[in-house]
Amino acid sequence: MNTFPQLPDGFTALITGASSGLGAEMARQVATEARVLILVARRLDRLGVLKEELTLQHPDLHVYLCQVDLNDPKSIEQLLDYLKDKSIAVDFLINNAGLGDLGTFQSSDWPRVRSMLLVNIEALTALTHALLPGMLRRGKGAILNVASTAGFLPLPTFAVYGATKAYVCSFSEALAVELRQSGVTVTSLCPGPVSTEFGEVATRPNSRRKFAPVKALYVPAVQVVREALDGVRRRKVRVIPGGLVRAGALFLEFIPTPVKRFFLRWADRFSGPEKPVGK
């Protein structure tokens, strides 16, 4: 049964970053209602394992695997050409892929920074730009952009990552207004800490600085995805999973920027300078 009012029966969903974490969980939950899934990631072996799991549980489901490096604009073009060649019309676009980098900007590696800009911003925008016209022609569709509560305020030692997620939040809000009478909905998912590979990947090699949010703020991936998809069904523009995280995020919105800046400076005094292990 299709419970998404803005999607056709037997809809097709495309999920980026589907090999692990929220992306894999998105695939599991969307598979109960979709007819076709296009799973996009760099790690084809993990996608293969996920496909076996999904098709075993849902024999009528068609799963396409696309090994794509979203750092590379040419790979995105190849993905779009593949969809065109296969005559696959995407009804539900889930822009989940993203990466972070924990540490001061001045000590960052430019290739890592560039990857965040390409994956978190450019790839998300390019896929939306390419697939939205088809949704508009059909008069049905949904876009779910995975942002973060990190996009709600400037974050020292997460400066570029937070800025990319602020872009996703702003872009999604504006696009939702533009499309409000089109039959296509746009939702931004803004989770707090989730138990995925994000923290491990964001931590720099040999760095003493670790990704260690308050444990009480963690929300299970299953719950994050459940609340996200429920928000899409209800045509919500923004979803912040978890009661504590949601309360904190809403509180932040009412704090003036100068006050935020004061507390961020105060907190940064205790973080100390960047100290790589072994140096």
Q: Is residue 143 a part of any domain in this protein?
A: yes
**Number of domains the chain contains:** 1
Domain hosting 212: range is 12-268
Which pTM was predicted? Answer: 0.90
Q: Is residue 1 part of a domain?
A: no
**Domain contains 201:** yes
Question: What is the DSSP code string of 142-186?
Answer: EEEEE--GGGGS--TTSHHHHHHHHHHHHHHHHHHHHTTTTTEEE
Active site residue 82: no
Any domain includes 92: yes
37/111 Cα distance (integer angstroms): 31
pLDDT in tens, the chain (279 residues): 899 999 999 999 999 999 999 999 999 999 999 999 999 999 999 999 999 999 999 999 999 999 999 999 999 999 999 999 999 999 999 999 999 999 999 999 999 999 999 999 999 999 999 999 999 999 999 999 999 998 998 888 899 999 999 999 999 999 999 999 999 999 999 999 887 666 566 677 766 666 556 677 889 999 999 999 999 999 999 999 999 999 988 887 777 777 767 667 756 654 555 555 444
Supply the CATH number for residue 77's domain: 3.40.50.720
User: Which residue type is seen at 58?
Assistant: H
Residue 275 lies in a domain: no
Indicate which residue of 64, 82, 161, 167 is catalytic.
161
Residue 273 lies in a domain: no
pLDDT in tens, 121-130: 999 999 999 9
Q: Cβ contacts of residue 45 below 8 Å, gap of 6+?
A: none
